[in-house]
Structure 1
Amino acid sequence: MTDTFTLNQQLAKDCIVLGSLGDSLLLLLNNSLVPWFILVPRTNACEIHDMPAEEQQRLFAEMMELARFVDNEFKPDKVNTGAIGNMVRQLHVHIIARYEDDYCWPQVVWGRPEKKVYTQKEIDRIVTRLTSRLKERFVVDQNLNK
């Protein structure tokens, strides 16, 4: 993992930094219409296949841990996982809970104008759930409530 990690400005603008999950920064897209988490590994690699094998394995484990959390906590009809990166080149992985009655099912959620920002109470509830379920693997960002 890199010591010179800086979060992409677009991700910082669109997301709430919840904390860290293992070696990755854990973000929540600030749109409560669907639970949409983003893992940003602390690496300079732009593609998963460019990461050293041991970093790939750690990222995959974090992805699976977060996907299980999303599945267990939000009970979606489908969990979407993707690392697209056309607009934001910094390597990041989306873990999204989808429901057959959500605002754009069965279409993709990317690029849609519909938005409902999270309240602080909703954010606190998600952080509590992450802390409870993921224990020491999830570390809350110290600036979250500032």
Structure 2
Amino acid sequence: MASNFTLNQQLAEDCIVLGSLGSSLLLLLNNSLVPWFILVPQTEACEIHDMPDNERLQLFDEMMELARFVDNEFKPDKVNTGAIGNIVRQLHVHVIARYEDDFCWPQVVWGRPEKKLYSTKEIDRIMTRLSTRLKQRFVPVTAE
């Protein structure tokens, strides 16, 4: 990560930092009710359309790589991808596995009170799957 990069406080509180995927920070929302990943690109832009072309193309490559990972690993009925940013202004992209029998299908998952935190074992399993599947681009966070 760039030395001047700072993760938004709300994202830091709500998510587990898994590492980096390309030039983006890769997060896991700490709610195991649905597999919900978040990419946070290192950019000053708050909107995708304001990003320099090279950064935007790299972000889209990372989004596609993560969406394919989610689709292959979690076998969802639908993969939701979106950059909303109404609450958290720092540019970030959600990639969420959705199932027709999940807790709020077909409604959106944002802002719901239902929550089940990940166990350490579940997080370790996801990290292993990321490291195996995305070994060329995923750099896991290291304990300090």
Coarse TM-score class (shorter-chain normalised): over 0.9
1:103 maps to 103
CA separation in 2, counterparts of 1:129 and 1:3?
28
Please show how residues 1-146 of structure 1 align to structure 2 within 5 Å: 3-143=3-143
- RMSD, matched Cα: 1.2
Q: Which amino acid aligns with 2:22?
A: G
CA separation in 2, counterparts of 1:55 and 1:43?
8
TM-score (norm 2): 0.97
String of CA shifts for 1:12-37, please: whole Å, max 9, x gaps. Answer: 00000000000000000000000000
Question: Which stretches of structure 1, 4 residues or longer, exceed 6 Å deviation after superposition?
Answer: none
Q: Which amino acid aligns with 2:100?
A: E
How far 1:44 moved relative to its partner? 1.0
How far 1:3 moved relative to its partner? 4.4
Q: Which amino acid aligns with 1:48?
A: I
How far 1:136 moved relative to its partner? 2.3
* Runs (5+) with no aligned partner, structure 1: none
How far 1:69 moved relative to its partner? 0.1
CA separation in 1, counterparts of 2:95 and 2:65?
11
TM-score (norm 1): 0.96
Q: Which amino acid aligns with 1:112?
A: R
